Structure formats: structure tokens, C-alpha cells
Amino acid sequence: MNVYISLFVSALTLIYSTGSWSVTDSECRLHLTEAEEVQSYLADFSRNLGIVTPQQQLDLSRKRIAIAGVGGIGGEALETLSEMGVGGFVLADPDHFERHNKNKQSAANDKTIGRLKVDVGEEDVKARNAFTKVKTMPEGINANNIDEFLSDVDLVVDGMDVFNMATRRLVFNRAMELGIPVVTVGPLGRTVAGLSFKPGGMTYDDYFDVNDQTPEQEHLIHFLVGLAPKYLHKGQIIKDYVDYHRQQAPAYATATKVAAGHIGEMVSAILLNTHEVLPAPWSFQYDITSQRVRRVRLLFGNRGPLQRVRLALAKREWRAFIESKEPEVR
């Protein structure tokens, strides 16, 4: 393996001896301008070779991914993408680690409690790959800095809390306007569900059937039903442990890890163009317990007649889910 890496590095040295990779943001892209840096990078990620080619691996080193939310999903996705060798990240999250994050966030431990998630995330990826360029936004995302968050990125990963619907819509819609693909995958009980949005394809508002006047609670229901129309997670979540007003919902490490793996594979496929990732109106849900998989094409999104029935049933069935109270101490 080292022989192949050395030969590949020698070729790259000749090809790129005149300067750095062509980039537009020197602060957030990986610069492989010297042979020893290329060799070090390929050695670090040499076990990826054979799944990806050396050229594809180096292509990943030039990619910059924006992650909105660096908690359960975003933090695990960051770790996965870093292990894949992605060279640049923009991390946005105002939250600090808390004790209850330990159940599903790898970076949450006694040493990181109270620290900003974006700071810990930056340290972790740089410890794995010293060449990684990271921009942190501890102020989070809002209408005033959304363009800064999306500046010169190749793809957006949705790692936001499930209740954070206004910011989610802002990120998705602005990314589409700027021609940036977005991937969202999340845990629902012991399942994972996800979909992606591609520039020029179906928009977030069209798929989920939401607009500026959609109430927050209704927006949340539309998102969940659109994300997992087959409802494979039915009966897997005890509603007493969901509190909309406190923005609390259960999540399990197994589903979170699987979701991060799906994100990594989708990101790799989209950025390297290795295989097609069907965007919205396509979605998928995978039940870890039964190994069932459902792929669904909602041609009209949540506006379709069958989906309208599902929404009506969900609004009635999940009323207690949204208005849940503090669980009893058992």
C-alpha cells in the first residue's frame, strides 16, 4: 500500500508543483501544496482506498461541508465525515454540551460538559486530520448570517434539533437558492429516515407543504410525516417522554450512529458522483430492529391526497406527543 501511495504522491507532486489546489476560501479549504502533506493525508486515510480511489480521496480533501447543528446527528456526522477525509467544515451551533448529551453524542463526556459543541468538534477533527480547515459559528444561524454559513460550501448537512423548524426552513430554502444540495437524516425511535434536496429539484416548501404562515407545531408535524411517510417507528417512542414545550424528545445511540453512516454515504455519493442519490420527492426509512426498508416517492410531497390523509391522522394521533407533559418518575 505504501508503494502505491508513494507513486501516487510522486505523480501529484509533478502535477501540482506550480501551486495550491484551486480554491476560493483559503481559511476553510485544505491546501495540499507539498508532497509530504499529500503523503501524510493519504497515509492517514489509506484504509479508505479500495472503497474510494486515491483521486476520490483527494477530492474529498478539497470539499467543504456546512453542518447546521453539531449535536446528536450533526456531531456524529461530523465525526464520520472527518473519518472519511473531508477537508473543510463550517460548524454552526450555539449550544454547550450537557449531561443528557452523553447517551448519543460521542464528544459528550465529563471533560466537555459546559463547552461549546463547535469548539469541541473543531478540536476533534483537527486531532484526526491536522490539515482540516474549520470555521465555527457559535452564534448559530439566523437571517443575518445565513449567507456566511453557506459561503463557498459544497453541501449542507442538517444536524439541527427536530424542534428547530424555522431555522431548518431558512437553511434549506437559502441553500436551494444558492444551488447547494442538502442532506437530512434523523433517528425516529429505532429507525432512521431521510431525504435530500438537489438544486433545480423539488423545494423544501413544496415537499413539506409549508410557507411563511405555517404555525410552528403544524410545521413540525408536516416535517415528520414527510420525512417518514410509512411510519415504521410506530409504537417505538413512549409519548410521555416527549415534551414539545421543553423541546425534549428521546433518541437512542444505535439509530443516531446509523443515521450518521447514512449521511456519510449520501454525502460521498453526491460529492464524488459515484452513484445516484434520489432527491425529494424520494425518501427512505430503515427500521434497525426488523431490517425493513421503505423507499417512498411522494410525487406531490405532502400535498398528495394520501399524504393529506396521513397528515390528518398524524395531527390527531400525535396531539399528545406535541402537548406531552413531564413523565412520571418510575
The pLDDT tens digits of the residues spanning 270-295 come to 999 999 999 999 999 999 999 999 99
pLDDT digits (tens, 9 = 90+) for 231-269: 999 999 888 888 888 888 899 999 999 999 999 999 999
CA distance 330 to 328: 6
Q: Is 50 within a domain? A: no
Total tally of structural domains belonging to the chain: 1
C-beta separation of 285 from 219 below 8 A: no
Q: Is 147 within a domain? A: yes
Mean pLDDT (whole number) for 191-200: 97
Residue 33 pLDDT grade (very low, low, confident, very high; cuts 50, 70, 90): low
pLDDT of residue 246: 85
* 10, pLDDT greater than 50: no
CATH number at 179 reads 3.40.50.720
Partners of 196 in the beta sheet? 183
Residue 13 pLDDT grade (very low, low, confident, very high; cuts 50, 70, 90): very low
- 70 grid coordinates: 453539531
Residue 39 pLDDT grade (very low, low, confident, very high; cuts 50, 70, 90): confident
Give the domain extent around 226: 63-322
Specify the DSSP class assigned to residue 133.
Answer: E
CA distance 157 to 172: 10
* 7, pLDDT greater than 60: no
Mean pLDDT (whole number) for 298-311: 96
Burial group, residue 26, by CB count within 10 angstroms (0-12, 13-18, 19+): exposed
Q: Is 254 within a domain? A: yes
SS3 289: coil
Q: Is 55 within a domain? A: no
